[in-house]
Amino acid sequence: MIARGINLITLWLFLSLSAGAFAQKAIPPNDLWTEQVMTQIRDKSTLESSVEPQAGYAEVYFTSNPSANFFDAKEPYAERTNEKIRIHGYLVYPLVGGPFPAVVFNHGRGSQADLGLAQVVASLGAVALAIDGPQNGKSTGGPVDHMQAWISVDKGGQYGYL
């Protein structure tokens, strides 16, 4: 019994010290962005969010990146720097009760938000947020969702579409 307790303490110490060592070293994908970039990503003042109430849902807008860098998806593959990406979405919610679980629907490749799907999910008792991808639906800015944009990372991973 005492040996088992010592083994558990030893394991706990090993995991605690290992976790500290890993926290000091950035490992993929956390090594993609510098601390300065992470600070900018976490800066809520750059969101520029707005909500436009509609009948039974709301249209939401937010800035996902105030200074994106990317390459055009078609020749001559021009480099774009410091461009703002504004994302549009539909926020649909049950009309009474709460609190509710939430579901976020990504736009899918080359697509936009599906208001109908979000409404079905809300009718089942969850809040649903369905978003348009950059350059799709009512979203503006950013690269066009195209295979070339997915792989254009010549100047680093921060240039990739995803």
Domain ranges of the chain: 1-31, 34-159
Residue 160's Cβ-side half-sphere holds a number of Cα atoms within 13 Å equal to 8
Give the C-alpha separation, 158 to 95, whole Å: 40
Mind listing the pLDDT tens digit for each residue in 99-128? 999 999 888 666 789 999 999 999 999 999
Kindly state the helix (H) or strand (E) to which residue 126 belongs, with its residue range.
none
Does the pLDDT at position 92 exceed 70?
yes
Record the pTM: 0.71
Report which of residues 106 and 93 the model is more confident about. 93
Does the pLDDT at position 13 exceed 60?
no
The pLDDT assigned to 129 comes to 95
The pLDDT assigned to 5 comes to 47
Report which of residues 41 and 7 the model is more confident about. 41
Cβ atoms < 10 Å from Cβ of 71 = 21
Residue 9 CA: distances (Å) to CA of 15, 18, 124: 10, 14, 47
Which residues have C-beta within 8 Å of that of residue 109, sequence separation ≥ 6? Answer: 133, 145
Mind listing the pLDDT tens digit for each residue in 35-84? 887 787 788 888 999 999 999 899 999 998 888 888 888 888 888 888 99
Q: Name the pLDDT band for 17 (thresholds 50, 70, 90).
A: low
Q: What percent of the chain has pLDDT over 70?
A: 72
CA 31 distance to own-chain centroid: 17
Does the pLDDT at position 30 exceed 60?
yes
* Residue tagged 């990504």 (tokens): 106
Cβ atoms < 10 Å from Cβ of 155 = 12
